[in-house]
A and B are shown apart, each in its own frame.
Chain A
Amino acid sequence: MTSPTNAVKLPADWRDFLALTKPRVMSLVVFTGLCGLLAAPGHINPVLGFTAVLCIALGAGGAGALNQWWEAEIDSGMKRTSKRPLPQGRLERTDARDFGIALSVASVLILGLAIHWLAATILAISIIYYAVVYTIWLKPRTPQNIVIGGGAGAFPPLIGWVAVTGDITAMPLLLFAVIFFWTPPHFWALALFVQTDYAKVGIPMLPVVAGEVATRRQILAYSIILLPLSAVPWWIGGTGPLYGIAALVLSGVFLLLTFPVAFRRTGEDDRMKPEKRLFTYSIAYLFALFGVLVADRAIYGSSVLT
C-alpha cells in the first residue's frame, strides 16, 4: 500500500503520547527525586545522577500512561479528565497500554544497568504500586484511596537517595513518610473546593463517601502528624539545624492554615478561600521543604550523620 486510504486511521499525534505521561505531575516527581539525590550523603557522577532522575521521570510517565489506559472510561465521565487523549479518541487504548509498559520496562532496565539493581527494584515496585495496587485494585474500592496513592508519589526521593548511597537507611524512608503524610491534606483540600464528579463514575472519594466533616477532620489529623514528622530527620542527626528549623516553621504554617479548614463547614455560595489557600500553600511547602533539605546538605555536608 503506497498511499493511505479511507480505511487508514490517522496516526496519533506524538503530543498525545506525551500527554499520557502526565507532564505536570512529573515536574514534582523530578524535583523531589532530584532533591533526594542531591541531599544524600556521598557523591554521584553527574552523568549517572542525570540518568537516575531521567529514569525516575520515565518510570513515572509509564505509570501515568498505564493509569490513563486503565481509567479511560472513568476519565471520559469526568469534566476535569474528559479532554485527555484516550477519552477524546485521539489514541488507541492498546497503544497507551503498550507505551506505558515500554516506558516502565525501559526506565527500570536503564536504571539497573547504569546505577544498581536496588534502585531499579524500588522503581519497579513504585510503578507496580501506582499502576496495579492503586489504580486497578484499591482506588475504586476504598475512600482511603488518596492515602494509598500518596505512597506512589512518595517514592521519587527514596529512589534518588538510594541511587547515591546504595542502601536503604532511615533518612530516605523519612522523606518517603513526609510525602506520604503530606498527600492527603494536599489532595483533600482540593477535593473540598473542586466540584468533582467522582461519585458519577463510581470512585469513592472521601468527601463524597464519608462527608465533608470527616474529610476536614482527617485533613487536620495528617497535618498534626506532619509537624513532628518533618523535623525527625534533624532530631536523628540526619540534617543540620537549617533544615530542622525550616521544617518546623513550614509545617507549623501548614498546621495553622489547616485549622480554619478543619473547623468550618461549607456555606451557601462559599468561596472556599481557606481550602484554596491550604492547597496552594501545600505545593509551595513541598518545594520549599525539599529545597531547604538540599541547601542544608550543601552547608553542613559531612558534619551530619548519615
Chain B
Amino acid sequence: MTPEEEAEYKRRRKARNVVLALLLVGLVVLFYAITVVRIGAQG
C-alpha cells in the first residue's frame, strides 16, 4: 500500500467514524425527545 493509499484509507475510515458518531448522537437526542414527549403526554 502506497502512502497515498494509506492516507486515503485513513481519511475514509475517519469520515465513516464521524458519520457514525453523528448518527448515534442523533439517535440518542431523538429517543430522549420522544421519551420526554410521550411521558409528558401521560402526566
Q: Which of A3-11, A191-199, A289-297 contacts B (4 or more CB under 8 A)?
A: A3-11
Given contacts A45-B41, A47-B37, contact A11 B6 (CB under 8 A): no
* Shortest Cβ gap from A236 to chain B (Å): 31
Asked if B37 contacts A10 (CB within 8 A), the reply is no
Q: Separation in Å of the A164 CB from the closest CB of chain B?
A: 14
Q: How far is the CB of A235 from chain B (nearest CB, A)?
A: 36
Bound form: Cα–Cα A11–B12 in Å: 7
- Which of B1, B16, B30 is within 8 Å of A14, CB to CB? B16
Q: Interface residue tally of chain A, by bracket? A: 10 to 19
Question: A13: CB under 8 A from chain B?
Answer: yes
Measured between alpha carbons, how far is A3 from B15 in the docked complex, in Å? Answer: 18
Q: Bits for A1-29, please: 1 = Cβ < 8 Å to B, else 0.
A: 00111101011111000000000000000
B1 touches A6 (CB 8 A): yes
Complex contact A11–B1 (CB within 8 A):
no
**Contact A13 B12, beta carbon cutoff 8 Å:** yes
Q: How far is the CB of A42 from chain B (nearest CB, A)?
A: 14
Say yes or no: is A51 at the interface (Cβ < 8 Å to chain B).
yes
Contacts of B33 in A (CB 8 A): 47
Least distance between A155 CB and chain B CB atoms (Å): 22
B34/A48 in contact, CB under 8 A:
yes
> Closest approach, in angstroms, between the C-beta of B6 and any C-beta of chain A?
6
Q: Is A203 an interface residue (CB 8 A)?
A: no
Whole-angstrom distance between the alpha carbons of A3 and B7 in the complex? 11
Q: Determine if A47 and B34 form an interchain contact, defined as CB atoms under 8 angstroms apart.
A: yes
**Which one, A4, A8, A11, A110, contacts B16 given CB within 8 A?**
A11
Chain A residue at minimum C-beta to C-beta distance from B18: A14
In the bound assembly, the distance between CA atoms of A3 and B30 in angstroms comes to 36
With A13-B12, A13-B15, A14-B19 already in contact, the answer to whether A3 and B34 are too (CB < 8 A) is: no
- A/B interface sample: 11 pairs, CB < 8 A: A4-B6, A11-B9, A11-B13, A12-B12, A13-B12, A13-B15, A14-B19, A45-B37, A47-B33, A47-B37, A54-B30
Known contacts A11-B12, A14-B15, A48-B34; can you find 5 more A-B pairs with CB under 8 A? A3-B1, A5-B1, A10-B5, A13-B15, A14-B16
